[in-house]
Amino acid sequence: MYAIGLFCLHMCGDKTLGKLCATTPCFSFQVLTENLLQSLIQYIPAPDQLNRLKEHEEDYENLAEAEQFAISISGIKRLVPRLKSLMFRQR
């Protein structure tokens, strides 16, 4: 769940909070709404695509924001089940 907390902060775009989250997991259901979670589950790239993106991690700063985001979430194990669990908690 720690990685999902970082994911949440990435969505906020607040770098100060990102540093805080490195020590304390935090979750905001104001950011991770049910609609956002559904969209993420639906549009997350396939695992093979995420693995191919990881190959370009050294060029992280030169990639588009969408690719940077995909690389940052590619390390989250069992991402889709975790997102589904968060969506269940929303209800």
User: Could you tell me if 5 and 17 are in contact, meaning their C-beta atoms sit under 8 angstroms apart?
Assistant: no
- Determine the pLDDT at residue 75: 84
Give residue 23's domain range: 2-90
Residue in the structure block whose two tokens are 């390390």: 75
C-alpha span between 49 and 15 (Å, rounded): 27
> What is the number of structural domains in the chain?
1
Tokens of 65: 């924001």
Which CATH number belongs to the domain containing residue 67 in this structure? 1.20.58
Per-residue pLDDT of the chain (91 residues), as tens digits, is: 444 444 544 544 444 334 434 433 455 666 778 888 899 999 998 889 988 988 888 999 999 998 998 888 888 888 899 989 988 888 7
C-alpha span between 83 and 36 (Å, rounded): 10
Residue 51: closest CA among 75, 83, 27, 22: 75
pTM (predicted TM-score):
0.61
- Determine the pLDDT at residue 65: 92
